[in-house]
Every structure is written in structure tokens, then in C-alpha cells.
Structure 1
Amino acid sequence: MGRLFVLFMVHIGMFLLGMFMMKSGLYVLSGHRLKRWVLHFTKTPVQSFLTGAIATALLQSSSAIMVLTVGLVATGYLTFQQSIGIILGSNIGSTITTELITLDLGTSIIPMLLAGALLVFFVRHRIGSGIGMTLVGLACLFFAMEGFSELAKPLSSEPLIHEWLQQTNRSYAFGVLVGTVLTALIQSSAATIGIAMGFLDERLLTLPAGIAILLGANIGTCVTALLASIGAGTEAKLTAYTHLWLNIAGVGIFYFLIHPFADVVSMFASKSDVQLAHASVLFNVICSIAALPFTRWIEWWIYLVHGINNRS
């Protein structure tokens, strides 16, 4: 058990390293223009929504965009109302990562890693090094995903993990709790979903149980923004709270639709990991688009719940 656990933690570390490298590479490519885009294209809720989606897709980290948004609200560059659209958009942009990690690159992973490393170490130009870091990050993600799949079956033979899997398959509330806690601990919803995909591939988790973990991951990912808002002003705190409340609302609705939702996503793909990736996309797209027309009401409700007079 000890050896398997160490290997499992190594693969989690590799996945998080891959996320960091990819995020860093994409940030190098976009430079400080990303911050300028966020500031410039947030005049309406729709602009804020599209900016949040595109910026998150470019940076491959909803947590990074939320930290940036909380910071911009704290310094007065963005208003709380503008941040709501960014939050909704970032939830959609973050789903690209889960779609990426379902790709089967096979023997292409090692050449990708080598090409990325050569660009990082031998190309001094910003664009070359940015592409190199992105390639190294992607290669690490795919290596980690292979590791999750290979370790899933040996881990499931351990009594503790076996009981955890059985409990998750029996109780979707437990699955939501697991997804929330694991994501809060490792600070990556993509890594949590990737781990669930590994168990799904080996048919150790059912698709509805995987969706329950996915729903929990959407709540757990809010911890980063909450931490970033500590010590900030009222509107910055409200931005972090809104991220949490919106995700809780979406999870609360979909929790009662897990079985029909699983039936729907299973029609779009035959592989269980791809089904879970599609579930992540559909969940976030439906929740965000449904909430977008009501940004003014959401703002009013957040002020009301947190006992703050709306001065706008």
C-alpha cells in the first residue's frame, strides 16, 4: 500500500507540475496583454462572460483567473458586477483542460516532452520558450493520466480504497464530498477529475459516481478565490463568495439530475473518461448561460445574503 500511495502522489505531483508548466507557458505567450484584455473587455455582462471564458481557456486555470479578478476588484479596476460575468465565463473556459487530457497521444508524448524541453533550454525568444513550457506541461499531464489509469486497479485492491470506491458508487453525496475535499487540498479540479477518469477507465467507478465527484470538484475549486480574498475589501470578498454560491447552486440543481445527466452524456461518447469530460463541459455551459441574463439579480442577492446595502 505504501509503495502504491507514493506512486499515486508522484503522479498527482506530475499532473500539478504539468498544469503549472502549461499555465506558465501560456502566460508567457499572452504576456501582460491578458490583464489588459480583462480590463478592457468587461463593459457589459456578455463581454465579461466572453472575456472570462477566453482568458481561462488561454491560461488553462480558472483559479488563476479568479485570483486575478479578485485582485482587480480589490484595487478598484473592476466592479463586483463586472466580476460576475468573468466568473461565469471562467467556469466554461476551465473545461478545456478536462477535454485535453482525454486525448490518446500514445507514443507522441515523449517526442512532445523532448521538443518542449529543447525549446525551453535552447530558445531564448519569448514565444519559443512559451511554446516549450506548454508542450512540457501537456506531456506531464498525459504521463500523469496514464499513471492514474495504471494505478487504479492495484489501488482498488487495497481495503481502504476499495471501501472508498464502493461508498462513492453507493452515495453520490459522498462523491460530492470527496470531490470537494480533494480539490480543496490539491487546488486543482482538473487533477481531481483526472483521478476519477483513471478509476472510470478501469470500471471501478460508475459514470454517475464520477459525475458526483466532478460536481464536488466545482465547489472545491472555489477555495483558491476565497483564500485570495482574505484581507481584501468588501467587493473583492463578494466576488469570491459569488464564485462559491454560483457553483453551489449549479451543483445543488444537478445533484438531483445525476442519473439522467449520465444517460445524456453517455450518448456523446463510448469511453467513460470522455463522457466525464463532456459532462464537465455541459454542466458548466448550462449553468453559466442560464445565470448570465440574471447578473443584476445575482448581484442584488449576494448583497442581500451578506447583509450589505447595494449602493449602485
Structure 2
Amino acid sequence: MKEAGFIEAAATFAGGLAVFLFGLNYMRQALVNVNGERIRKFVAKTAGNKFKALITGIVITTFIQSSSGVTAIVVALVSSGIMTMYQGIMVMIGANIGTTTTAFLFAFQLEKYSLLIVFSGFLLNYFKNIKLNHIGDVLTGLGLLLLGINIMNSFYARLAESEIIHYILRFSRSRLAGFSIGTIISALLQSSSGTINIVQNLYAIGAVSLPTAVSLMLGANLGTTVASLIAAVSASREAKTSVNVNIAFNLIGGIVFIVLLTPFCSLLMCLKTNTALIPNDKIMIAYAHMIYNILATVVFYLFCDTIIEKIIGKRRTTWLFWKKIDNDVIIC
């Protein structure tokens, strides 16, 4: 690919990425607008214990497709005292699983219907019904998101034929480099979904190996937590602690899986070879994202009391309905 051609392709990619992120944010906001207050009440009421809190995080994030959005809601609820710090932590951990469904959406190549979806959303906005208007906004956002993917796909096709791919392959041999790059890109984009979509396409065209793609994915999981730091700037101490535990969870989980990268990739290849679960390379990354988050969450859930105490420091406390009480004074 000549320099002028690459600049043109890069500009196309940048434009596609902008459309993708705009559509993603537009869809998220529209989903919240449909039942925003109900979502907040649902989170506050259903997160009664650590299991319910975990499931709540999964369900809500699957619905609004934004772990950052769920984190912002949790920070507000914990700061206001409606939710305890420990409930907030488990909702955030559950959100990591809920957001994995987006990668499967990318893998099914729905982008060919993007303009039809945008048009459907546009039509719904002409009805004199607020709920239909909000649904139309959701469809418009989804269509724009898919349109952005479609635009970026032309860049990936040209990238596969370029010499730049050789530099990517050379640099991508380091696991830590992949993890770091994934973290930085996700933090800059404020979207793990956007980063993982890029990773899916790079792996699909052979620009990166499976270990590198997984390393990038692990980094993307960590990078998206930067948004939670911003949300917690003016929050209460308990809310900030919830956010810090979530960041530590993603950091430690990412490092552990970087160490276990070879057997993890072997597991993925085994699934692809011996089952019909992974029909294409994009689905492979989607499954890697989901399996990692499920395994990390299961471990955290089983040992959450010990892990949380190690992260935030031990206190002489007893557990009672997931509120820590010390000398009859609720401290969270």
C-alpha cells in the first residue's frame, strides 16, 4: 500500500471509528432513555446479596451494552447510600460479563444491514409516541454502529495487503506489549467494545496471532475502567473503593491470564477444532472475551470476601446482609 493510499485508508478508518463510537454512545443513551429510571430502581432493589448483585450487573449491562454506564449508575447509588460498597463491587464485576455480548454482535456480520436499520429507526421517530421514538433512537444508534464497522472493514481489507502488517506482526510478539496497547487504546476510546472489534478484525485478516489478540483483549478489559475513575472523581469514599476494587480485579485478572496465555489459547483452539461453537475467527475472540470474564468472575465470587479485604485492607468486622458493621456502626 503506497503512502498516499495508506493515508486515505487511515482517514477512512478514523471516520468509520468515529461513526462507530457515535453510534455506540447514541444507542447506549437511547437505551437508558427508554427506561432509565426503571434501570436505576431495578439495580437498587435487586442487588440484595452478592449473587443477586452479580446477576444484576450481568443483566443490566447486557441490556444497555455499557459497563461504563452501569459503573456510573453504581457510583451514584453507592454515593447516595442506596447501595452498599460491596453490592456495588459485585454489580461492577457482573458488568464485565454483560459487556461481552457486544463482541458476538460484531462477529455475526450484521453490518450489511446497517443502513436498513438506520432507516427503520428514522421512520419510528415520526410516530407521536415517545417510547417508539426512543426505540427508533436505539435502532438508529445500532445502525450507525454497524455502519462504522462496515466503513472500517474496507481499511482492514487494504491493511491485509500492505507492508505495515509485517511491522504489526513483528511488534505483536510480546504479550505485555499487546496487553499495554489494548489498555491504552481502550482507555483512549473509552470503549472496550470498540477495541475488541478492532482486535477481531486484525485477527481475522491474520495481522496478529491468537496470543496477541487475546493479550489486546485483556488490555481492553482494563482500559475501559478508566471511565469509572472519571465517574468516581467527586463520589464518596465507598464508591471510590468500589471502583478501585473493580480496577484491581481487571488488572490482576489480566496479568494472571497473560501468564496462562498459552494454555488459554490452546483451549480456544481446541474448541474451534472439536466443536461447532467457533465458525470463524471473529467469534473466537468473542468467546475468548466471554470465557475470560466468566472464569475470572467465578474465582472472584468464590473468594470475594478475602480478595476485597486484601485490596482495601482488613477490618475487624462481621458480615450481615452484605453490610459491614463494626460496633453497631455501619461503615459502608
> Structure 2 length as normaliser, TM-score?
0.87
Rg larger for? 2
Distance 1:166 1:119, change over 3 A: farther
Distance 1:124 1:205 in 2: 49
Higher alpha-carbon deviation: 224-233 or 179-188: 224-233
Partner Cα distance (2:268, 2:137) in 1: 33
- Answer whether contact 2:46 2:52 (CA < 8 A) is retained: yes
1:77 counterpart (72, 82, 85): 82
Gaps of 5+ in 2: 1-5, 272-276, 318-323, 326-332
Residue correspondence of structure 1 range 247-286 to structure 2 within 5 A = 247-266=250-269, 267=271, 268-286=277-295
Question: 1:180, 1:217 within 8 Å by CA — same for their partners in 2?
Answer: yes
Q: Is the 8 A contact 1:303 1:309 kept in 2?
A: no
Counting matched residue pairs gives 308
Q: Aligned equivalents of 2:280 and 2:112: distance in 1? A: 20
**Is the CA contact 1:26–1:130 (under 8 Å) kept in the aligned structure 2?**
yes
Query: How do residues 221-232 of structure 1 correspond to structure 2 at under 5 angstroms?
Result: 221-232=224-235
Q: Does the aligned pair in 2 maintain the 1:20–1:137 contact within 8 Å?
A: yes
Alignment of 1:139-288 (within 5 A): 139-155=143-159, 162-168=166-172, 170-266=173-269, 267=271, 268-288=277-297
Q: CA deviation at 1:162?
A: 4.5
| Counterpart AA for 1:181 | I
Paired with 1:196 and 1:290, the residues of 2 have a C-alpha distance of: 26
The equivalent residue for 1:42 is 47
Structure-1 separation of matches of 2:165 and 2:130: 45
CA contact (8 A) 1:176 1:212 kept: yes
Matched with 1:30 is: 35
State how far apart, in whole Å, the 2-side matches of 1:137 and 1:178 are: 27
TM-score (norm 1): 0.92
Q: Let me know the Cα RMSD of the aligned residues.
A: 2.0
**Sequence identity (%):** 27
Contact 2:17 2:149 (8 Å CA) reproduced: no
Distance 1:230 1:71 in 2: 11
Counterpart residue number, 2:310:
301
SS in 1 for 2:234: coil
> For residues 222 and 106 of structure 1, what CA distance do their matches in structure 2 show?
27
Partner in structure 2 of residue 98 of structure 1: 103
Structure 1 segments (4+ residues) deviating >3 Å: 155-162, 308-312
TM-superposed CA distance for 1:99, in Å, is 1.0
Contact 1:153–1:199 (CA under 8 A) maintained in structure 2: no
The question of whether the paired residues in 2 share the 8 Å contact of 1:28 and 1:126 is answered with: no
The CA distance in 2 between the partners of 1:131 and 1:202, in whole Å, is 35
How far apart are the structure 2 equivalents of 1:176 and 1:302? 22
Structure 1: 5+ residue stretches without partners: none
